Amino acid sequence: MASPSITLAYALLGVALGTLTGLIPGLHVNSVAFVLVGVAPSVDGPPVAVGAAILAAGVVHTFLSIVPGLVLGVPDAATAPGALPGHRLVLAGRGREAIRLSAVGSGVALAGAVAVALPLSRVVAAGREWLLAALPVLLALVAALLVLAEPTRRARLGGVLCLGVATALGFLTLDLPATGVLTPEGAASMLAPIFGGLFGAPILLDALDARGAIPPQDGTTLGLSRIEAVRAALAGVGGGALVGYLPGVSAGVAAVLALGGAGGSGPAGRGSDRAYVVATSGADTATAVFAVASLAVLGAPRSGVTVALSSLVGPAGDGSAIAPMGLLGMLLVIVFAAGLGIVLLLIVGERYLSIVRRLPRRPLLVVVLGLLLALAVGFAGRIGGAVFCLAALVGLLPPRVGARRVHLMGVLFGPIALG
Protein backbone atom coordinates (compact mmCIF):
# COMPACT_ATOMS: atom_id res chain seq x y z
CA MET A 1 0.00 0.00 0.00
CA ALA A 2 1.41 3.36 -1.02
CA SER A 3 1.77 6.14 1.54
CA PRO A 4 -0.56 9.16 1.18
CA SER A 5 2.36 11.39 0.18
CA ILE A 6 3.40 9.08 -2.66
CA THR A 7 -0.19 8.76 -3.87
CA LEU A 8 -0.55 12.55 -3.77
CA ALA A 9 2.67 13.00 -5.76
CA TYR A 10 1.48 10.57 -8.45
CA ALA A 11 -1.92 12.27 -8.55
CA LEU A 12 -0.19 15.61 -9.17
CA LEU A 13 1.78 14.01 -12.01
CA GLY A 14 -1.54 12.84 -13.42
CA VAL A 15 -2.93 16.38 -13.16
CA ALA A 16 0.07 17.69 -15.13
CA LEU A 17 -0.35 14.97 -17.78
CA GLY A 18 -4.08 15.63 -18.10
CA THR A 19 -3.43 19.35 -18.51
CA LEU A 20 -0.95 18.70 -21.32
CA THR A 21 -3.12 16.21 -23.20
CA GLY A 22 -6.28 18.27 -22.69
CA LEU A 23 -4.73 21.23 -24.51
CA ILE A 24 -3.75 19.13 -27.55
CA PRO A 25 -6.50 19.53 -30.18
CA GLY A 26 -8.29 16.34 -31.14
CA LEU A 27 -6.75 14.14 -28.45
CA HIS A 28 -9.68 12.40 -26.76
CA VAL A 29 -9.42 11.28 -23.14
CA ASN A 30 -10.15 7.67 -24.13
CA SER A 31 -7.25 7.78 -26.60
CA VAL A 32 -4.96 8.85 -23.77
CA ALA A 33 -6.38 6.12 -21.57
CA PHE A 34 -5.78 3.41 -24.17
CA VAL A 35 -2.12 4.41 -24.28
CA LEU A 36 -2.03 4.23 -20.48
CA VAL A 37 -3.50 0.71 -20.63
CA GLY A 38 -0.23 -0.46 -22.16
CA VAL A 39 2.07 1.82 -20.18
CA ALA A 40 0.60 1.61 -16.66
CA PRO A 41 1.50 -2.01 -15.80
CA SER A 42 5.16 -1.33 -16.57
CA VAL A 43 5.40 1.84 -14.43
CA ASP A 44 7.63 1.30 -11.42
CA GLY A 45 5.36 2.39 -8.60
CA PRO A 46 2.67 1.19 -6.18
CA PRO A 47 -0.53 0.23 -8.02
CA VAL A 48 -2.60 2.61 -5.89
CA ALA A 49 -0.35 5.56 -6.75
CA VAL A 50 -0.22 4.74 -10.47
CA GLY A 51 -3.98 4.31 -10.45
CA ALA A 52 -4.35 7.75 -8.84
CA ALA A 53 -2.20 9.24 -11.62
CA ILE A 54 -4.33 7.62 -14.34
CA LEU A 55 -7.57 8.76 -12.74
CA ALA A 56 -6.32 12.32 -12.15
CA ALA A 57 -5.05 12.57 -15.74
CA GLY A 58 -8.41 11.48 -17.13
CA VAL A 59 -10.40 13.90 -14.97
CA VAL A 60 -8.23 16.95 -15.67
CA HIS A 61 -8.11 16.16 -19.40
CA THR A 62 -11.91 16.48 -19.59
CA PHE A 63 -11.70 19.92 -17.94
CA LEU A 64 -9.03 21.38 -20.22
CA SER A 65 -10.15 19.80 -23.51
CA ILE A 66 -12.95 22.35 -23.94
CA VAL A 67 -10.39 25.13 -24.56
CA PRO A 68 -8.85 24.04 -27.90
CA GLY A 69 -12.34 23.16 -29.08
CA LEU A 70 -13.52 26.69 -28.35
CA VAL A 71 -10.75 28.54 -30.14
CA LEU A 72 -9.79 26.19 -32.97
CA GLY A 73 -13.20 24.90 -34.01
CA VAL A 74 -14.93 28.21 -34.68
CA PRO A 75 -17.04 28.01 -37.87
CA ASP A 76 -18.05 30.71 -40.30
CA ALA A 77 -21.36 32.48 -39.62
CA ALA A 78 -22.98 30.52 -42.46
CA THR A 79 -22.45 27.24 -40.63
CA ALA A 80 -23.02 28.58 -37.12
CA PRO A 81 -26.53 27.04 -36.80
CA GLY A 82 -24.94 23.58 -36.80
CA ALA A 83 -21.96 24.50 -34.65
CA LEU A 84 -21.59 23.65 -31.02
CA PRO A 85 -22.88 26.41 -28.73
CA GLY A 86 -19.43 27.08 -27.30
CA HIS A 87 -18.26 28.06 -30.78
CA ARG A 88 -21.11 30.51 -31.12
CA LEU A 89 -20.10 32.15 -27.86
CA VAL A 90 -16.55 32.58 -29.17
CA LEU A 91 -17.92 34.10 -32.38
CA ALA A 92 -19.71 36.60 -30.15
CA GLY A 93 -16.48 37.38 -28.26
CA ARG A 94 -17.63 35.50 -25.14
CA GLY A 95 -14.98 32.78 -24.96
CA ARG A 96 -13.87 33.77 -21.46
CA GLU A 97 -17.44 33.53 -20.29
CA ALA A 98 -17.73 30.09 -21.90
CA ILE A 99 -14.72 28.92 -19.89
CA ARG A 100 -16.33 30.17 -16.67
CA LEU A 101 -19.62 28.54 -17.55
CA SER A 102 -17.78 25.28 -18.05
CA ALA A 103 -16.12 25.61 -14.65
CA VAL A 104 -19.47 26.31 -12.97
CA GLY A 105 -21.09 23.31 -14.63
CA SER A 106 -18.28 20.98 -13.63
CA GLY A 107 -18.13 22.21 -10.04
CA VAL A 108 -21.86 21.88 -9.36
CA ALA A 109 -22.09 18.55 -11.16
CA LEU A 110 -19.14 17.14 -9.20
CA ALA A 111 -20.92 17.74 -5.91
CA GLY A 112 -24.19 16.31 -7.20
CA ALA A 113 -22.65 13.23 -8.81
CA VAL A 114 -20.53 12.30 -5.77
CA ALA A 115 -23.66 12.47 -3.61
CA VAL A 116 -25.74 10.07 -5.74
CA ALA A 117 -23.16 7.86 -7.49
CA LEU A 118 -23.02 5.01 -4.99
CA PRO A 119 -26.77 4.56 -4.35
CA LEU A 120 -27.54 4.94 -8.06
CA SER A 121 -24.92 2.32 -8.99
CA ARG A 122 -26.49 -0.09 -6.51
CA VAL A 123 -29.91 0.47 -8.08
CA VAL A 124 -28.43 -0.16 -11.53
CA ALA A 125 -26.67 -3.29 -10.22
CA ALA A 126 -29.98 -4.63 -8.90
CA GLY A 127 -31.62 -4.14 -12.30
CA ARG A 128 -28.58 -5.04 -14.42
CA GLU A 129 -30.17 -7.97 -16.27
CA TRP A 130 -33.24 -5.88 -17.12
CA LEU A 131 -31.03 -3.00 -18.29
CA LEU A 132 -29.03 -5.25 -20.63
CA ALA A 133 -32.19 -6.81 -22.07
CA ALA A 134 -33.81 -3.40 -22.59
CA LEU A 135 -30.67 -1.70 -23.94
CA PRO A 136 -31.66 -1.71 -27.65
CA VAL A 137 -35.06 -0.21 -26.84
CA LEU A 138 -33.52 2.42 -24.54
CA LEU A 139 -31.01 3.49 -27.18
CA ALA A 140 -33.74 3.66 -29.82
CA LEU A 141 -35.69 5.89 -27.43
CA VAL A 142 -32.62 8.11 -27.00
CA ALA A 143 -32.35 8.46 -30.78
CA ALA A 144 -36.04 9.34 -31.08
CA LEU A 145 -35.82 11.94 -28.31
CA LEU A 146 -32.81 13.55 -29.99
CA VAL A 147 -34.80 13.95 -33.19
CA LEU A 148 -37.83 15.33 -31.33
CA ALA A 149 -35.57 17.82 -29.53
CA GLU A 150 -34.91 19.58 -32.84
CA PRO A 151 -36.86 22.87 -33.05
CA THR A 152 -38.30 22.57 -36.60
CA ARG A 153 -39.68 19.93 -38.95
CA ARG A 154 -36.79 20.48 -41.37
CA ALA A 155 -34.27 20.02 -38.56
CA ARG A 156 -36.00 16.84 -37.41
CA LEU A 157 -35.87 15.40 -40.94
CA GLY A 158 -32.21 16.39 -41.09
CA GLY A 159 -31.64 14.68 -37.76
CA VAL A 160 -33.17 11.44 -39.05
CA LEU A 161 -30.92 11.61 -42.12
CA CYS A 162 -27.79 12.23 -40.04
CA LEU A 163 -28.73 9.46 -37.63
CA GLY A 164 -29.20 6.99 -40.48
CA VAL A 165 -25.94 7.88 -42.22
CA ALA A 166 -24.01 7.73 -38.94
CA THR A 167 -25.51 4.33 -38.12
CA ALA A 168 -24.43 3.04 -41.52
CA LEU A 169 -20.94 4.40 -40.89
CA GLY A 170 -20.84 2.53 -37.60
CA PHE A 171 -21.85 -0.78 -39.18
CA LEU A 172 -19.23 -0.23 -41.88
CA THR A 173 -16.25 0.79 -39.75
CA LEU A 174 -16.49 -0.18 -36.08
CA ASP A 175 -15.37 -3.78 -36.58
CA LEU A 176 -12.55 -3.07 -39.04
CA PRO A 177 -9.12 -4.33 -37.90
CA ALA A 178 -7.07 -1.63 -36.14
CA THR A 179 -3.31 -1.86 -35.77
CA GLY A 180 -2.21 1.43 -34.26
CA VAL A 181 1.35 1.97 -33.08
CA LEU A 182 0.16 4.25 -30.24
CA THR A 183 -1.93 1.59 -28.53
CA PRO A 184 -0.97 -1.75 -27.00
CA GLU A 185 -1.81 -4.98 -28.79
CA GLY A 186 -5.49 -5.79 -28.42
CA ALA A 187 -6.48 -2.26 -27.33
CA ALA A 188 -6.49 -0.54 -30.74
CA SER A 189 -9.90 0.48 -32.09
CA MET A 190 -11.53 2.64 -34.73
CA LEU A 191 -12.98 5.05 -32.18
CA ALA A 192 -10.19 7.64 -32.51
CA PRO A 193 -10.48 8.04 -36.32
CA ILE A 194 -14.29 7.87 -36.21
CA PHE A 195 -14.69 10.59 -33.58
CA GLY A 196 -11.87 12.72 -34.93
CA GLY A 197 -13.48 12.57 -38.36
CA LEU A 198 -17.07 13.12 -37.27
CA PHE A 199 -16.62 15.89 -34.72
CA GLY A 200 -13.17 17.41 -35.23
CA ALA A 201 -12.30 17.60 -38.92
CA PRO A 202 -15.64 18.98 -40.23
CA ILE A 203 -15.60 22.00 -37.92
CA LEU A 204 -11.99 22.73 -38.86
CA LEU A 205 -12.76 22.34 -42.58
CA ASP A 206 -15.64 24.78 -42.30
CA ALA A 207 -13.43 27.16 -40.36
CA LEU A 208 -10.89 27.17 -43.23
CA ASP A 209 -13.46 29.02 -45.34
CA ALA A 210 -14.16 31.59 -42.65
CA ARG A 211 -13.04 35.15 -43.19
CA GLY A 212 -11.55 37.42 -40.59
CA ALA A 213 -9.91 36.70 -37.27
CA ILE A 214 -11.46 35.37 -34.10
CA PRO A 215 -12.82 38.43 -32.29
CA PRO A 216 -11.33 39.66 -28.99
CA GLN A 217 -12.71 37.70 -26.07
CA ASP A 218 -13.98 40.36 -23.65
CA GLY A 219 -16.28 40.04 -20.71
CA THR A 220 -16.54 37.39 -18.02
CA THR A 221 -19.98 38.12 -16.58
CA LEU A 222 -22.14 35.01 -16.78
CA GLY A 223 -25.24 35.34 -18.93
CA LEU A 224 -27.16 32.84 -16.80
CA SER A 225 -28.66 33.43 -13.38
CA ARG A 226 -27.52 31.25 -10.49
CA ILE A 227 -30.73 29.25 -10.63
CA GLU A 228 -30.40 28.68 -14.39
CA ALA A 229 -26.77 27.64 -14.03
CA VAL A 230 -27.51 25.19 -11.21
CA ARG A 231 -30.47 23.71 -13.10
CA ALA A 232 -28.32 23.18 -16.20
CA ALA A 233 -25.48 21.64 -14.16
CA LEU A 234 -27.85 19.26 -12.35
CA ALA A 235 -29.37 18.35 -15.71
CA GLY A 236 -25.81 17.46 -16.68
CA VAL A 237 -25.65 15.12 -13.68
CA GLY A 238 -28.69 13.29 -15.02
CA GLY A 239 -27.04 13.22 -18.42
CA GLY A 240 -23.82 11.91 -16.89
CA ALA A 241 -25.76 9.01 -15.44
CA LEU A 242 -26.94 8.13 -18.96
CA VAL A 243 -23.36 8.27 -20.22
CA GLY A 244 -22.09 6.26 -17.27
CA TYR A 245 -24.50 3.36 -17.68
CA LEU A 246 -25.63 3.32 -21.33
CA PRO A 247 -23.01 2.47 -23.98
CA GLY A 248 -22.95 4.75 -27.02
CA VAL A 249 -24.33 7.81 -25.23
CA SER A 250 -22.02 10.85 -25.13
CA ALA A 251 -22.05 13.98 -22.99
CA GLY A 252 -23.38 15.91 -25.97
CA VAL A 253 -26.29 13.49 -26.36
CA ALA A 254 -26.97 13.63 -22.64
CA ALA A 255 -26.90 17.43 -22.61
CA VAL A 256 -29.43 17.77 -25.45
CA LEU A 257 -31.83 15.41 -23.66
CA ALA A 258 -31.20 16.86 -20.21
CA LEU A 259 -31.68 20.44 -21.36
CA GLY A 260 -35.31 19.70 -22.07
CA GLY A 261 -35.64 20.27 -18.34
CA ALA A 262 -33.08 23.05 -18.18
CA GLY A 263 -34.46 25.46 -20.70
CA GLY A 264 -31.92 24.85 -23.39
CA SER A 265 -33.29 22.44 -25.92
CA GLY A 266 -34.79 25.04 -28.18
CA PRO A 267 -33.19 27.07 -30.96
CA ALA A 268 -29.79 28.60 -30.44
CA GLY A 269 -29.95 31.68 -28.34
CA ARG A 270 -28.46 33.62 -25.51
CA GLY A 271 -29.69 31.31 -22.77
CA SER A 272 -29.70 27.98 -24.61
CA ASP A 273 -26.05 28.16 -25.71
CA ARG A 274 -24.90 29.00 -22.22
CA ALA A 275 -27.08 26.32 -20.63
CA TYR A 276 -25.69 23.78 -23.11
CA VAL A 277 -22.08 24.63 -22.15
CA VAL A 278 -22.90 24.28 -18.45
CA ALA A 279 -24.81 21.02 -18.91
CA THR A 280 -22.23 19.42 -21.22
CA SER A 281 -19.37 20.27 -18.88
CA GLY A 282 -21.42 18.98 -15.97
CA ALA A 283 -22.17 15.77 -17.84
CA ASP A 284 -18.45 15.26 -18.59
CA THR A 285 -17.52 15.63 -14.92
CA ALA A 286 -20.44 13.55 -13.67
CA THR A 287 -19.55 10.81 -16.15
CA ALA A 288 -16.10 10.46 -14.58
CA VAL A 289 -17.76 9.91 -11.19
CA PHE A 290 -20.43 7.49 -12.42
CA ALA A 291 -17.91 5.50 -14.47
CA VAL A 292 -15.81 4.93 -11.34
CA ALA A 293 -18.89 3.99 -9.31
CA SER A 294 -19.95 1.59 -12.06
CA LEU A 295 -16.53 -0.01 -11.99
CA ALA A 296 -16.61 -0.37 -8.21
CA VAL A 297 -20.16 -1.67 -7.87
CA LEU A 298 -20.71 -3.51 -11.16
CA GLY A 299 -17.12 -4.45 -11.97
CA ALA A 300 -17.73 -3.04 -15.46
CA PRO A 301 -15.41 -0.38 -16.93
CA ARG A 302 -17.47 2.26 -18.76
CA SER A 303 -14.71 4.57 -19.99
CA GLY A 304 -11.17 4.37 -21.29
CA VAL A 305 -9.86 5.59 -17.95
CA THR A 306 -11.64 2.86 -15.99
CA VAL A 307 -10.40 0.28 -18.51
CA ALA A 308 -6.86 1.45 -17.72
CA LEU A 309 -7.58 1.26 -14.00
CA SER A 310 -9.01 -2.24 -14.19
CA SER A 311 -6.04 -3.45 -16.24
CA LEU A 312 -3.70 -2.10 -13.57
CA VAL A 313 -5.23 -3.29 -10.31
CA GLY A 314 -7.91 -5.70 -11.46
CA PRO A 315 -11.40 -6.22 -10.01
CA ALA A 316 -11.89 -7.80 -6.63
CA GLY A 317 -12.82 -11.42 -6.49
CA ASP A 318 -16.54 -10.73 -6.27
CA GLY A 319 -16.43 -8.24 -9.13
CA SER A 320 -18.03 -5.56 -6.97
CA ALA A 321 -15.07 -3.39 -6.01
CA ILE A 322 -11.65 -2.37 -7.16
CA ALA A 323 -8.71 -3.43 -5.04
CA PRO A 324 -6.60 -1.99 -3.59
CA MET A 325 -7.75 1.59 -4.23
CA GLY A 326 -11.41 1.21 -3.31
CA LEU A 327 -14.35 3.38 -4.26
CA LEU A 328 -13.71 5.97 -1.54
CA GLY A 329 -10.10 6.34 -2.62
CA MET A 330 -11.08 6.80 -6.27
CA LEU A 331 -13.72 9.38 -5.40
CA LEU A 332 -11.21 11.32 -3.28
CA VAL A 333 -8.78 11.39 -6.22
CA ILE A 334 -11.57 12.61 -8.52
CA VAL A 335 -12.52 15.42 -6.13
CA PHE A 336 -8.87 16.44 -5.72
CA ALA A 337 -8.16 16.39 -9.46
CA ALA A 338 -11.43 18.14 -10.31
CA GLY A 339 -10.69 20.94 -7.87
CA LEU A 340 -7.31 21.54 -9.51
CA GLY A 341 -8.91 21.11 -12.94
CA ILE A 342 -11.32 23.98 -12.31
CA VAL A 343 -8.47 26.28 -11.24
CA LEU A 344 -6.35 25.26 -14.24
CA LEU A 345 -9.28 25.76 -16.59
CA LEU A 346 -9.72 29.35 -15.44
CA ILE A 347 -6.01 30.24 -15.41
CA VAL A 348 -4.44 28.21 -18.22
CA GLY A 349 -7.59 28.15 -20.35
CA GLU A 350 -7.89 31.91 -20.64
CA ARG A 351 -4.21 32.33 -21.49
CA TYR A 352 -4.45 29.58 -24.12
CA LEU A 353 -7.50 31.27 -25.59
CA SER A 354 -5.70 34.61 -25.73
CA ILE A 355 -2.51 33.25 -27.31
CA VAL A 356 -3.95 30.86 -29.88
CA ARG A 357 -6.49 33.32 -31.28
CA ARG A 358 -3.60 35.62 -32.29
CA LEU A 359 -1.81 32.92 -34.29
CA PRO A 360 -2.26 32.74 -38.10
CA ARG A 361 -5.58 30.99 -38.38
CA ARG A 362 -5.45 28.97 -41.58
CA PRO A 363 -1.96 27.51 -41.07
CA LEU A 364 -2.95 26.60 -37.52
CA LEU A 365 -6.13 24.85 -38.70
CA VAL A 366 -4.18 22.92 -41.34
CA VAL A 367 -1.70 21.79 -38.67
CA VAL A 368 -4.52 20.66 -36.40
CA LEU A 369 -6.17 18.75 -39.26
CA GLY A 370 -2.84 17.05 -39.93
CA LEU A 371 -2.56 16.20 -36.24
CA LEU A 372 -6.02 14.62 -36.23
CA LEU A 373 -5.13 12.51 -39.27
CA ALA A 374 -1.82 11.49 -37.68
CA LEU A 375 -3.61 10.45 -34.49
CA ALA A 376 -6.12 8.43 -36.51
CA VAL A 377 -3.30 6.56 -38.22
CA GLY A 378 -1.37 6.23 -34.95
CA PHE A 379 -4.31 4.75 -33.10
CA ALA A 380 -5.76 2.58 -35.90
CA GLY A 381 -3.22 2.26 -38.75
CA ARG A 382 -3.68 3.12 -42.41
CA ILE A 383 -7.25 1.83 -42.37
CA GLY A 384 -7.84 4.29 -39.55
CA GLY A 385 -6.67 7.12 -41.80
CA ALA A 386 -9.19 6.09 -44.47
CA VAL A 387 -11.96 5.83 -41.87
CA PHE A 388 -11.05 9.30 -40.60
CA CYS A 389 -11.50 10.77 -44.09
CA LEU A 390 -14.82 8.98 -44.62
CA ALA A 391 -16.09 10.09 -41.20
CA ALA A 392 -15.06 13.67 -41.98
CA LEU A 393 -17.32 13.64 -45.05
CA VAL A 394 -20.21 12.37 -42.95
CA GLY A 395 -19.45 15.02 -40.32
CA LEU A 396 -19.98 17.80 -42.86
CA LEU A 397 -23.65 16.81 -43.23
CA PRO A 398 -25.47 18.13 -40.10
CA PRO A 399 -25.02 21.90 -40.58
CA ARG A 400 -25.99 21.53 -44.23
CA VAL A 401 -29.34 19.96 -43.34
CA GLY A 402 -29.95 22.24 -40.36
CA ALA A 403 -29.52 19.57 -37.67
CA ARG A 404 -27.35 19.23 -34.58
CA ARG A 405 -24.11 17.29 -34.83
CA VAL A 406 -25.14 15.20 -31.84
CA HIS A 407 -27.15 12.88 -34.13
CA LEU A 408 -23.84 11.57 -35.42
CA MET A 409 -23.48 9.66 -32.13
CA GLY A 410 -25.70 7.17 -33.92
CA VAL A 411 -22.38 5.76 -35.14
CA LEU A 412 -22.23 3.99 -31.76
CA PHE A 413 -25.74 3.54 -30.43
CA GLY A 414 -27.24 2.79 -33.86
CA PRO A 415 -25.35 -0.49 -34.35
CA ILE A 416 -25.93 -1.41 -30.70
CA ALA A 417 -29.68 -0.83 -30.95
CA LEU A 418 -30.05 -2.59 -34.30
CA GLY A 419 -27.43 -5.30 -33.78
Residue 323 has pLDDT above 80, yes or no: no
Closest C-alpha among 251, 308, 245 to residue 278 = 251
SS3 helix, strand, coil % of the chain, rounded to 5? Answer: 75, 0, 25
- Residue-averaged pLDDT of the chain: 78
The proportion of the chain whose per-residue pLDDT surpasses 70, expressed as a percent, equals 77
For the residues 93-118, what does the mean pLDDT come to? Answer: 89
pLDDT digits (tens, 9 = 90+) for 327-385: 788 888 999 999 999 999 999 988 888 888 788 878 888 888 898 898 888 888 889 99
Residue 315 β-bridge partners: 322
At residue 103's C-alpha, the angle toward residues 98 and 106, to 5°, is 125
Query: pLDDT value at position 290?
Result: 85
Q: Are 375 and 31 in contact (CB under 8 A)?
A: yes
Beta-carbon-side half-sphere exposure of residue 333 (alpha carbons within 13 Å): 35
Closest C-alpha among 274, 269, 315 to residue 292 = 315
Q: Quickly state the pLDDT bin for 33 (edges 50, 70, 90).
A: low
Residue 260 has pLDDT above 60, yes or no: no
pLDDT digits (tens, 9 = 90+) for 206-226: 877 766 667 777 777 888 888
Query: pLDDT value at position 193?
Result: 87
Q: Are 411 and 194 in contact (CB under 8 A)?
A: yes
Residue 157 has pLDDT above 60, yes or no: yes
Q: Are 156 and 147 in contact (CB under 8 A)?
A: yes
Whole-angstrom distance, CA of residue 389 vs CA of residue 373: 8
Whole-angstrom distance, CA of residue 409 vs CA of residue 196: 12
| One-letter identity of residue 277 | V
Query: pLDDT value at position 281?
Result: 85
Q: Which residues contact 264 (CB under 8 A, 6 or more apart)?
A: 232, 271, 272, 273, 274, 275, 276, 279
Whole-angstrom distance, CA of residue 277 vs CA of residue 255: 9
Query: pLDDT value at position 153?
Result: 92
Residue 265 has pLDDT above 50, yes or no: no
Q: Are 164 and 410 in contact (CB under 8 A)?
A: yes
Report the range of poorest mean pLDDT among 76-80, 92-96, 115-119, 152-156.
76-80
For residue 401, the 8-state DSSP code is T
Closest C-alpha among 406, 385, 154, 114 to residue 255 = 406
Whole-angstrom distance, CA of residue 295 vs CA of residue 315: 8
Closest C-alpha among 155, 274, 283, 174 to residue 220 = 274
Query: pLDDT value at position 261?
Result: 43
The proportion of the chain whose per-residue pLDDT surpasses 90, expressed as a percent, equals 15
Q: How far apart are the first and last CA of the chain?
A: 44
Whole-angstrom distance, CA of residue 150 vs CA of residue 402: 9
Q: What is the pTM of this model?
A: 0.78
Q: Quickly state the pLDDT bin for 182 (edges 50, 70, 90).
A: low
Whole-angstrom distance, CA of residue 218 vs CA of residue 93: 6
Query: pLDDT value at position 249?
Result: 65
Residue 316 has pLDDT above 60, yes or no: no
